[in-house]
Amino acid sequence: EQVQQRLISSGINAEYGQHYYITNNLRNRMALLKLTKVLVSDKIASDCLKAFEGKGVEVTYKPGLSKTELMDIISEYNGIVVRSATKLTADVIKAAVNLEIIGRAGTGVDNIDQNAASEAGIVVMNTPGGNTNSAAEHTCALLLAMCRNLPNRHNELMNGKWNRINGIELEGKTIGIVGLGRIGMIVAHRMQAFGMKTVGYDPFVPAKVAAEKGVEFMELTDMWPVCDFITIHVPLLASTKHMINSEVLSKCKPGVRIVNCARGGIIDEDALLESLNNGKVACAALDVFEKEPPAFDSALIQHPNLIATPHLGASTAEAQIRVAREIAEQFLALRDAKSSFGCLNAPLMRDVCGDPAKAALAQNLGKLLHALNPKAESISVKADSKTIAPFGVLIGYLNAKGVSANFVNIKKVAADNSLSFEYSECSDGITVSSGDVSLTGKPNENAGLLTAVNNKAVEIALPGDDVENSEKVMEQLISHL
């Protein structure tokens, strides 16, 4: 009350006295996430649970929850780990009022509403490397099986038929790889060992990089007519849904063979069935389907020139252990501001992990600025960072205003609240100003040091979670105004 009265007597935004205290939600600079309780809602190797528990995180293991059961308990947790069975839809995420991070122990995240998570400020993370080798090897196994149609030959032999039908060889054939990420590149390397010509397309991989791996870069329209084999390694997005359709298949070489170990829905299954029936596609191998499990008696599943497996791409003992261990390690690394590896919707986190002390200072300065000028619409930020400093300041300012914002959703939240910043480069700390108030600070081992108020030199240590010192800080601050 004394601090508030002194502010009012100084004529500083007196009508907003209730905003003049530093809020207590500034996290320690080395703890970007609370991460005290994690729910694991799908079956996963015990390595995941052990990794969390070894770092003091309480873990609840409840695979097989219904949507209603999940919505009833998800508010109790800071983090959740899923595989592919749990569906984190917008309404489930809305119920997760304390959730900070979602982890997919695997690669595909089409069972997670990333837009809803981002708006809620929840990090979405996957383990891009955990099942890479497993998926690549399964792709290679299906490619080889297609060449001799091994499932049919096996079934015939089991039924007493000795049917020595000729197959084809891989050597000298051209394989088109759609998606030149980790898995696609491993497949390319393995198929090169079989003497195949590898061509590929990826909108994010330059032709020069592909060439360094022995892959000739081609646009898709150029690739379809020249490939003997096509293998898919892209995520399921609006832009990739039914990428392989009737029009594309009509452009392919007669007798093409197609493998999909990526995601169901990338291939139009009706179009594929039609092409299998008319011989345009000699054989197809699918590990994933538009609906899983598919209808077992469907014409596609029963087609003699289809090889089907029940989504086994990541189903090796080694991959299960890797993704389980890696998702826990990635959660903990982000919590401790060591790494943002695997984050899919939080590009700013990479910079925050690179300089967490600066992020803590920026947020603290934003909170202090709000205490002195709660009606700012634009904030001037001078710093040596175009990301951590200005966005950190906006986060601190909005948090002090009672608005939930963090480095995941700050751009949208700031726009929704008509708050912007003007950035200029400065190598000496961070300076924020709005109206008649200017604050300068420098990072330290805690939450920053205030070094100037309205260009007057000061030395005020800023607390992190030490909220009982907030009145002391404000008293010191006011004395220099």
339-358 mean pLDDT:
93
Crossing angle of helices 182-193 and 132-148, rounded to 10°: 40
Q: How far apart are CA 172 and CA 170, in angstroms?
A: 6
pLDDT at 460: 84
pLDDT at 11: 43
pTM comes to: 0.79
Q: pLDDT (tens digit, 9 = 90+) per residue, 230-285?
A: 999 999 989 999 999 999 999 999 999 999 999 999 999 999 999 999 999 999 99
Q: How far apart are CA 235 and CA 263, in angstroms?
A: 6
DSSP secondary structure string, 26-78? PPPTT-S----EEEE-S---HHHHHHHHTTT-EEEE-TT--HHHHHHHGGG-S
Contacts of 299 (CB under 8 A, 6+ apart): 273
Average pLDDT, the chain: 90
Beta bridge partner(s), residue 346: none
Can you tell me whether residue 140 is helix, strand or coil? helix
Q: Is 292 a catalytic residue?
A: yes
User: Is 90 exceeded by the pLDDT of residue 467?
Assistant: no
36-43 mean pLDDT:
97
Q: How far apart are CA 288 and CA 41, in angstroms?
A: 22
Residue 34 amino acid letter: K
Can you tell me whether residue 358 is helix, strand or coil? helix
pLDDT at 3: 43
Catalytic-labelled residue, pool 6, 182, 189, 311: 311
Can you tell me whether residue 327 is helix, strand or coil? helix
Confidence band, pLDDT 50/70/90 cuts, at residue 107: confident
Catalytic-labelled residue, pool 292, 318, 422, 459: 292
| Residues, the chain | 481
Can you tell me whether residue 460 is helix, strand or coil? strand
Assign 3-state DSSP to the chain and report helix, strand, coil percentages, each to 5.
40, 20, 45
Q: How many percent of the chain have pLDDT more than 70?
A: 91
Q: State the residue for tokens 């499932």.
A: 151
Q: Minimal CA–CA distance to 429: which of 445, 444, 419, 412?
A: 444
Q: How far apart are CA 15 and CA 13, in angstroms?
A: 6
Residue 373 amino acid letter: N
Q: pLDDT (tens digit, 9 = 90+) per residue, 55-101?
A: 999 999 999 999 999 999 999 999 999 998 999 999 999 999 999 99
Q: pLDDT (tens digit, 9 = 90+) per residue, 306-321?
A: 999 999 998 999 999 9
Q: How far apart are CA 288 and CA 91, in angstroms?
A: 26
pLDDT at 31: 59
**CA 113 to the chain's CA centroid:** 11
> Cβ distance 334 to 343 under 8 Å?
yes
Catalytic-labelled residue, pool 19, 104, 257, 263: 263
Residue 379 amino acid letter: I
The CB-side HSE value for 68 (13 A sphere, CA atoms) comes to 0
Q: Is 263 a catalytic residue?
A: yes
471-479 mean pLDDT:
70
